[in-house]
Chains A and B, each alone.
Chain A
Amino acid sequence: MASATDSRYGQKESSDQNFDYMFKILIIGNSSVGKTSFLFRYADDSFTPAFVSTVGIDFKVKTIYRNDKRIKLQIWDTAGQERYRTITTAYYRGAMGFILMYDITNEESFNAVQDWSTQIKTYSWDNAQVLLVGNKCDMEDERVVSSERGRQLADHLGFEFFEASAKDNINVKQTFERLVDVICEKMSESLDTADPAVTGAKQGPQLTDQQAPPHQDCAC
């Protein structure tokens, strides 16, 4: 039936399927804080100092090996400009985690973090994982936002915090890997509330209320 016709008109590359799961990550933040550079550094290990404003959205795919699993990351790079807000916010719902970025040499971009965080709260799922990243930490001379302030804001918002530099490749990989880890944690948590016994992480009270109802998961 469907599969038979599929193969005749195959438009898929099955080579890509060699991974355990796929996470979608969104990079947001004011215009010119370095979202695209950050992504290019991570995905291609390249850096261009020239500023090219992102039009709407873009994405890159990178498969990493983490916790014994091959994880395919679809990382969405968004335009910071207000003009594209409709497009970019449309992608919030599909994202499991966010990198919220500001530029340590740009006060305004830091001040906007709160707003971006509100956007996430509005458009994304409740357990969205967010990492706050102060980019351009190589430009120490022009710094206007201290690490301390960044950290405090991150604490206040309940995000983890990194300072990073796409240019000097500082903390780029770490940021993404940490985000993947926290998403994984969230994933286990989510699965465990549905079925606490499997990981054995938290059993006890849940076990009892779980026993009776949820058979639907295993419709044998």
Chain B
Amino acid sequence: MAQDASLSSFQESEWEVILPVLYRDRAVQNVEEERIRKLKTRLQQLRWRGAKRGGQEYAEKSCARCRRALGLLLNRGAVCQGCSHRVCSECRVFPGRTRVWRCTVCYEGRNVRIKTGEWFFEERAKKFPTEGRQETAGARLLQSYQELSKISVVPPTPPPLSESWCSSSPGRLQELSQPRGFNKSVENLFLSVTTHMKKLSKSQNDVTSDKQLLSTSPEQGTGRPERRSQSDTAINVTARKISAPDILQSLSPESPKRPANPVLKQENLLSHPTPGPLFSGGSRQGSLISINSACTEIGNFDNADVTGEVELALRYCFKTRSLEVCIKSCRNLAYGEERKKKCNPYVKTYLLPDRSSQGKRKTGVQKNTVDPTFQETLKYQVEPAQLATRRLQVSVWHLGTLARRVFLGEVIIPLASWDFGDSTTQAFRWHPLRAKAEKHEDSSSPNHGELTVRAKLVLPAGTSKLQEAQEGTGEEPSCDGQLCLVVLGAQNLPVRSDGTLNSFVKGCLTLPDKQKLRLKSPVLKKQACPQWKHSFVFNGVSPAQLRQSSLELTVWDQAAFGVSDRLLGEARLGSREDPAGGAGSGSHSKLQWQKVLSSPNLWTDMTLVLH
């Protein structure tokens, strides 16, 4: 859409102002729709009350509205000009000062057309016949925004600045940004959203474990050889040995240590299929973390033939910003263990693409039934704008003996097209269960977390003026500039199976003459969301040089024996000759880089998506 093209040039700061207006409008609109609905219902009731339909009634001579009998001579009734029904004198309304009247229903019909604004929509339809009355400009904008944000990986990344905006009117930019001082605030806003949702994402990032499982090469495998075992039980045991205590420790330090014997552990699990929520904020019954999901997500589960349906309703509460998935029941499920005719079903949800354990919600386990009733509400705290990028995965599982999981089917509901404003979509509905999709297709989008940095170009007094003049001359400014870069921290990194990393950052500034300046941060051990707060200082660089330089930041996981560190992700700032990089990400980081270069001696905060 052409509209989208221009909308995409808006900065996050602008969206930050516009979005609340759109939401406010939506609230007004909801109230209005509710009012209109009531008005129409009332009119409908009024019509039905008269209930004269078809031709049957003229024989019996009664008022079409109140059904009172009409006389032959007195009170004979008269025909309403609006609906051509005969009505008694009581059921007439004289709206004007004239003797012209309408029956009560016709009159009310007119009123409703006024009150609902129907008249306007009818008039407007003369010019715009395709325009529905439902869709407002605000709703459309919100949708466009959601589509846009899907494209530009919303969570931490502000949409790209438009070139024209940047170059042609720095003054305007200031006008906008200055009073709000948002450089920081926007990114903080978006960061807080993501952190909110993923802050605790320390344990298995299932998508990545998948990938690693597939691509493990001998030397990489040192850190995680257990996963490659082919024996089911071995995986169960080892994976748990690694992950369980750590998860439990990191999330609920006060919880008592589980026994080390895996079999015992399973007994425990079986006797308490739904342990209480380990931390607050979760749903009442659904457990947020489970020890075993690593196994189910990496494909370590049995498959049953998929049959049956799941009944659920979806709602989004804009006030509390929470998505509520009400799991009511299932029917005709396959038996988890066909031979024994056993089935202990439970339902698990993820808000894809987040497959981390923090994004998991589960219902309790129902015993011995293929038609379980759950009546549980699983909640997600999620920003409205995020919904469009998400798909709700609802899967049904059987919990067998020895905590063996059997997959019974799943439904994936894309939320982008879900109309949360419409009350009819909030009703419970049956969704047929399907077999697992081939492979998680969304794992192809390579988002390896985000790196937050703060950059500043330090120029000696005097040169900064030159800088503002937008490099109009070929005159080379002095070379004693300094690029300061503080690597603040990273999050959503592809963590190890134990949910931690020994991470560090390398910075490499490639100057136009291919000279490379390299710096490295210290290693932070055992952290999933490392906060290095380490500064890189590149000395003796001129703005002109920097404009043609590129800065590559890479995040690494230090290998146990220093053989080969694992590359977690990289981000690049600045010019990039080779076309290998995606156009989108390239231009975006380029613009952020420009921002740094064009505002010397000012800190610019950036959140870089790692690839």
Q: Could you tell me which A residues sit within 8 Å of B by CB distance?
A: 1-3, 5-6, 9, 11-14, 16-17, 20-22, 52-53, 55-59, 61, 74, 81, 83, 85-87, 90-91, 93-94, 96, 125-127, 187, 190-191, 194-195, 197-201, 203, 207, 210-211, 215, 217-220
Q: Are the CB atoms of B34 and A2 closer together than 8 Å?
A: no
Task: Answer whether A220 and B53 are a contact pair too, CB < 8 Å, given A6-B426, A12-B34, A198-B110.
Answer: yes
CB-CB under 8 A from A16, the residues of chain B are: 28, 31
- Interface 9-mer from B16-24, B252-260, B357-365: B16-24
CB-CB under 8 A from A86, the residues of chain B are: 3, 6-7
Partner of B424, one of A2, A9, A61, A85: A2
Per CB-CB distance, the 9 closest pairs between chain A and chain B, nearest first, are A200-B96, A200-B98, A218-B83, A90-B137, A55-B17, A56-B18, A125-B124, A197-B100, A86-B6
Task: Give 19 CB contacts A-B under 8 Å.
Answer: A5-B423, A17-B31, A17-B35, A59-B25, A59-B28, A86-B3, A87-B7, A90-B137, A94-B137, A125-B124, A190-B119, A190-B122, A191-B113, A195-B102, A195-B110, A198-B95, A218-B80, A218-B83, A218-B103
CB-CB under 8 A from A199, the residues of chain B are: 95-96
- CA gap between A20 and B117 in the complex, in Å: 10
Partner of B21, one of A57, A94, A187, A220: A57
Partner of B427, one of A5, A22, A81: A5
Q: Which B residues from 50 to 84 make CB contacts under 8 A with A? A: 50, 52-53, 64, 80-84
Q: A125-B124, A195-B106, A217-B109 are in contact. List 4 more A-B contacts (CB 8 A).
A: A12-B34, A13-B27, A125-B127, A217-B106
Q: Are the CB atoms of A218 and B82 closer together than 8 Å?
A: yes
Partner of A11, one of B32, B140, B172, B318: B318
Chain B residue at smallest Cβ distance from A21: B115
Chain B residue at smallest Cβ distance from A187: B119
CB-CB under 8 A from B96, the residues of chain A are: 198-201
From residue A190, how far is it (CB to closest CB) to chain B in Å? 5
Q: Are the CB atoms of B427 and A1 closer together than 8 Å?
A: yes
Chain A residue at smallest Cβ distance from B164: A83
From residue B563, how far is it (CB to closest CB) to chain A in Å? 53
Q: Are the CB atoms of B18 and A200 closer together than 8 Å?
A: no
B131 within 8 A of A: yes
From residue A86, how far is it (CB to closest CB) to chain B in Å? 4
CB-CB under 8 A from B471, the residues of chain A are: none
CB-CB under 8 A from B340, the residues of chain A are: none
A-B contact count (CB 8 A): 166
Q: Are the CB atoms of B105 and A218 closer together than 8 Å?
A: yes
From residue B108, how far is it (CB to closest CB) to chain A in Å? 9
Q: Are the CB atoms of A9 and B427 closer together than 8 Å?
A: no
Interface size of B by CB at 8 A reads: 76
What does DSSP make chain B's interface, helix, strand, loop or mixed?
helix
Q: Are the CB atoms of B423 and A2 closer together than 8 Å?
A: yes
Q: Are the CB atoms of B83 and A203 closer together than 8 Å?
A: no
B30 within 8 A of A: yes
Chain B residue at smallest Cβ distance from A197: B100
B339 within 8 A of A: no
- CA gap between A180 and B598 in the complex, in Å: 49
B176 within 8 A of A: yes
From residue A107, how far is it (CB to closest CB) to chain B in Å? 22
Partner of B82, one of A12, A13, A195: A195
Chain A residue at smallest Cβ distance from B50: A220
Q: Are the CB atoms of B95 and A220 closer together than 8 Å?
A: no
- CA gap between A52 and B320 in the complex, in Å: 31
Partner of A187, one of B81, B109, B114: B114
Chain A residue at smallest Cβ distance from B14: A55
Task: Answer whether A197 and B21 are a contact pair too, CB < 8 Å, given A87-B7, A187-B119.
Answer: no
- CA gap between A187 and B165 in the complex, in Å: 42
B454 within 8 A of A: no
CB-CB under 8 A from B52, the residues of chain A are: 220
Task: Answer whether A17 and B34 are a contact pair too, CB < 8 Å, given A9-B426, A203-B100, A215-B84.
Answer: yes
Q: Are the CB atoms of A211 and B3 closer together than 8 Å?
A: no
Chain A residue at smallest Cβ distance from B115: A21
Q: Are the CB atoms of B97 and A127 closer together than 8 Å?
A: no
Return the CB mask of B31-52 against A: 1 if under 8 Å, else 0.
Answer: 1101100100000000100101
CB-CB under 8 A from A198, the residues of chain B are: 82, 95-96, 100, 102, 106-107, 110
Q: Are the CB atoms of B100 and A200 closer together than 8 Å?
A: yes
From residue A179, how far is it (CB to closest CB) to chain B in Å? 14
CB-CB under 8 A from B311, the residues of chain A are: none
B514 within 8 A of A: no
B317 within 8 A of A: yes
Chain A residue at smallest Cβ distance from B29: A74
CB-CB under 8 A from B176, the residues of chain A are: 53, 55
B200 within 8 A of A: no
Partner of A58, one of B21, B84, B102: B21
Task: Answer whether A9 and B102 are a contact pair too, CB < 8 Å, given A3-B423, A94-B137, A125-B120.
Answer: no
Partner of B426, one of A5, A93, A96: A5
CB-CB under 8 A from A59, the residues of chain B are: 21, 24-25, 28
- CA gap between A53 and B171 in the complex, in Å: 12
Q: Are the CB atoms of B47 and A9 closer together than 8 Å?
A: no
B123 within 8 A of A: yes
Q: Are the CB atoms of B105 and A220 closer together than 8 Å?
A: yes
Q: Are the CB atoms of A52 and B179 closer together than 8 Å?
A: yes
CB-CB under 8 A from A5, the residues of chain B are: 313, 315, 423, 426-427
Q: Are the CB atoms of B81 and A197 closer together than 8 Å?
A: yes
Partner of A2, one of B47, B120, B317, B426: B426
Q: Are the CB atoms of B137 and A91 closer together than 8 Å?
A: yes
CB-CB under 8 A from A53, the residues of chain B are: 175-176
- CA gap between A112 and B366 in the complex, in Å: 70
Chain B residue at smallest Cβ distance from A4: B427
CB-CB under 8 A from B50, the residues of chain A are: 220
From residue A142, how far is it (CB to closest CB) to chain B in Å? 23
Task: Answer whether A9 and B324 are a contact pair too, CB < 8 Å, given A125-B123, A203-B100.
Answer: yes
- CA gap between A191 and B50 in the complex, in Å: 24
Q: Are the CB atoms of A11 and B426 closer together than 8 Å?
A: no
Chain A residue at smallest Cβ distance from B10: A56
From residue A17, how far is it (CB to closest CB) to chain B in Å? 5
- CA gap between A2 and B397 in the complex, in Å: 30
- CA gap between A37 and B389 in the complex, in Å: 38
Q: Which B residues from 405 to 446 make CB contacts under 8 A with A? A: 423-424, 426-427
CB-CB under 8 A from A96, the residues of chain B are: 117, 120
B465 within 8 A of A: no
Task: Answer whether A9 and B114 are a contact pair too, CB < 8 Å, given A52-B179, A211-B81.
Answer: no
- CA gap between A1 and B7 in the complex, in Å: 38
B342 within 8 A of A: no
CB-CB under 8 A from B291, the residues of chain A are: none
Q: Are the CB atoms of A93 and B175 closer together than 8 Å?
A: no
From residue A194, how far is it (CB to closest CB) to chain B in Å? 8
- CA gap between A195 and B84 in the complex, in Å: 13
Q: Which of A3, A53, A191, A203 has the most CB of B within 10 A?
A: A191
From residue A202, how far is it (CB to closest CB) to chain B in Å? 11
CB-CB under 8 A from B324, the residues of chain A are: 9
- CA gap between A74 and B117 in the complex, in Å: 13
